[in-house]
Structures are given as C-alpha cells and as structure tokens.
Amino acid sequence: MTSTGRTGAAPQRRLAVLDGIRVLAALAVLFYHYVVLASAWGEPTAGVFPVARRLAVYGWLGVEIFFLVSGFVICMSAWGRSVGDFAVSRVARLFPAYWAAVALTSLVLLTWPEVRPVAGFTDVVVNLSMLQGGLGVPDIDDAYWTLFVELKFYVLFALMALRGVTYRNCVLFCGVWTLAGVVAPTADSGVLSFFAMPSASPYFIAGMAFHLMRRFGPNAVLWAVVGVQFLLAQHYVQARMVSSLGQAATAQTPSWPAHVIILLGFAVMAALGLGALDGIRWRWLRHAGAVTYPLYLIHMMVGLTAIHHFRGRIAPVPLVLATTAGVLVLAWTVHRVVERPLGRRLGAALRRGIQDIRTGTPARPPLDRLPAQPGAPEAERIPAGP
C-alpha cells in the first residue's frame, strides 16, 4: 500500500470487510437481546431457547467489536480533515438516524408500555441530545449507552486532532490514553475515570493502531500497542460479563468463548490492517453495512415490545425471526427516508456554518442591517440599534 508520508497517505477506498464486520456485530447484539433477555418473554429464556441461548449469551461482544471498528474508521475518516470538518462529519452521520430512532422508540413505548414505559416527556427531549449519559437521564433505549461512550472517544480524538492527525500524534495519543486507562481504576479522580473508559478504550486504541498499520505499514511499536490493548481487553472480560448477564448467570456461563471471540475480532482487524482481506469486495456488503447503525438504534426496545406483545400467539423461533425481519425493514426505511437525505442536508448546513466561522463572514447580514421592507410602517421597520 502506498503512502505519502507520516502526515498523510493515499485516499482510502471503502472497505467491504468493515461493513461485513458491522453486520455480524449488529446481528450478534440483536441475537443477545432477543434470546437472552427475559423481559420480553416473561420468564427465564433458558427454558425458551435451551440451545440458542448458549450462543446468544456472548452476543454482547458485538459492542466490543463495534468499538474496535470505530477506532479504525475514525482514524481513517479524520485523516487530512480539520477538527471542524471531523465534527461535522460525525454529527451528520450520527444524529439523523438517532433522532428518528428516539422518536420511533418513544412512540412504541408510549403506545405499548408492556416491557418498559417512558418515564416522561423530558427524558425524550434530553435523549435527543445524545448527552443523557452525562446528565443522569435514563436512555429511552438501553442500547444507547454505547453512543455516549462513542461521543467521549470523539471528544478525545478531536482534542488530539487539534495538533493534527499525524502518525506521531496518533501513536502518542494511544500511549497517553492507555496510561490513563491503566491508572483510572485506582485513581481518585472522577474526571479521569469518566474519559479513560478502561473497559472500552482498548478496542478504540487497537482499532486506531490497525489503521496506522494499514496506512503506514506494521512495525514493532504498533504491534506493541495492539498487544497491550489485547491483554487489557481480555482483563475486562469477566467484568463485562457481569454487567451484561448479572452475577448469577455469569457464574454459570463459561468465559473462555468470550476470550476466543475477542481474539478472533483482533485477528480479523489485524488481517484488515495488513491488507490481507482487500480481495473481499462484495457490493452487497456496502448496502448491508449502511443499515447496521439504524438497526442497532431501533432493534432493542421496539423488538422486545413486539416479542412481548405477540409471545402468546406465535412460537418463539418464528417470533424472533419475524421481529428481526420487521426491524430490518424499519432500519432500511430509516436509512433511506431519514438518514441519507437529512444527513446530507445537515452536513451541508453545518459546513456552511463552519465556513462562516473560518471567514468571519456570516452567510446573511445581521438583522439590524437588513433593509426595511418598502412601504412598511415606521413601527414595523427593523431598528438600527438596541
């Protein structure tokens, strides 16, 4: 792979493998929620899915794989961009589908409050900001907790990007964040723990290192970064199992499959970083990958409500398959009707605003300089001063 130096490289084409990884991760999380969680079925799911549940209990690892991919993608997409351009791209990418998902999920929970009701209208409004995780406001959908983790990663990356997205700065950023993640669990600092995200940061950092390998080639430093992150990720497996499954279920669930899945995730990303998977260019993966974000946003509470509503009339396996098909159609609709068109418009509007800030010239003159309408009474003319 050719590069143009330590501060930039040849343009990156869309990688079909990344879309494939996203699809698998999203389906794993969906499988976990629909087959493992008892809230939709009204009883422990070990009796409902005696075989499938043994696999589904590890579906929460799809979130970790998403973080791994996110580190790779953010480092790749931010290269050569200013901080303002990076922020615009993230807002335009995340919020349109998210707003639609919050509205849809809230409507479903207000109409059929069977699994969980909406606490209040204020919670819905705060959720639209995606900042509820920092304000102590409940998520409308429990899957949204990962979005606030992503936002904190973007903030940290943007601070680094102020000095320029270069090989040196990215490696230093990985080192500093690793140190913060190691120190945070024993440090008496809420701010440090808030941003260090010890259980999530190894995946973001490893993803960045894999992208640096792809852009500049592998070396001992990058392999060392990846190795440390892999060990840290393995260290937090037990804690993540407890937070996902509960203490009692974790005691009855072997942890070795989770360790193996993480190993496989790192191995696939390493192959991607080394260019070993570049031959995979299936076009359908691009379309499937585009739907994974809205699918992740709407599948949980909407799907669990549908399962709870129809559980007495449809057998479990057909119900899960039908619910999955339904949320896939909803996700595709959100992508085509909301995410793509609104994302383009929002991005264009934000870019104009950023350009105005850079040039110091607003797109429109201030109100006190607008000319009065011809023939308007003096009382209706815009005043020239306070």
DSSP H helical segments within 311-339, as ranges?
316-333
Distance CA 180, CA 261 (A): 26
pLDDT value at 1 more than 70: no
Higher per-residue confidence, 56 vs 1: 56
How does pLDDT run across 177-186, given as a tens digit for each residue?
999 999 998 8
CA 47 – CA 275 distance, rounded (Å): 44
Task: Evaluate whether residue 105 is within a structural domain.
Answer: yes
Rounded to the nearest 10 degrees, how much is the dihedral formed by the CA atoms of 107, 108, 109, 113?
130
Instruction: Using DSSP, state whether 9 is helix, strand or coil.
Output: strand
User: So what's the pLDDT on residue 355?
Assistant: 83
Per the structure, the count of domains in the chain is: 1
- State the distance between the two ends of the chain, measured CA to CA, in whole angstroms: 61
- The answer to whether residue 6 is domain-embedded is no
CA distance 245 to 62: 14
Question: Is residue 185 situated within a structural domain?
Answer: yes
Q: Domain for residue 379, yes or no?
A: no
SS3 361: coil
| pLDDT on residue 77 | 92
The CA-atom distances, in angstroms, between 281 and each of 127, 253, 261, 380 are 37, 37, 24, 62
Distance CA 174, CA 206 (A): 8
366: left (phi over 0), alpha (psi -120 to 50) or beta: beta
pTM of the model: 0.90
Do residues 151 and 130 make contact, with C-beta atoms less than 8 angstroms apart? yes
- Where is pLDDT greater, at 58 or 360? 58
Contacts of residue 12, Cβ cutoff 8 Å, sequence gap at least 6: 76, 79, 215
**Would you say residue 372 lies in a domain?**
no
- Report percent pLDDT > 90 for the chain: 80
Q: What is the pLDDT of residues 279-325, one digit of tens each?
A: 988 889 999 999 999 999 999 999 999 999 999 999 999 999 999 99
Tell me, what's the pLDDT at 167?
97
Residue span of the structural domain in which 29 resides = 16-355
pLDDT beyond 90 at 2:
no
Confidence band (pLDDT; 50, 70, 90) for 372?
Answer: low
User: Is residue 210 in some structural domain?
Assistant: yes
Which secondary structure element, helix H or strand E, spans residue 257, and what is its range? helix 256-273
- Whether 377 has a pLDDT exceeding 50, the answer reads no
With 0-12 / 13-18 / 19 or more C-beta atoms within 10 angstroms meaning exposed / middle / buried, residue 54 is middle
Q: What DSSP character marks residue 335?
A: I
pLDDT at 302: 97
The answer as to whether 56 is a domain residue is: yes
Per the domain annotation, does 8 fall within a domain?
Answer: no
As a whole-number percent, the residues of the chain with pLDDT over 70 amount to 90
Average pLDDT, the chain: 90
The pLDDT, as a whole number, for residue 258 is: 97
**Residue 208 token pair:** 């960045």
Q: Is residue 40 classed as helix, strand or coil in its secondary structure? A: coil
Specify the pLDDT at position 11: 44
pLDDT at 379 over 60: no
More confidently predicted of 259 and 366: 259
- Per DSSP, 315 falls in state -
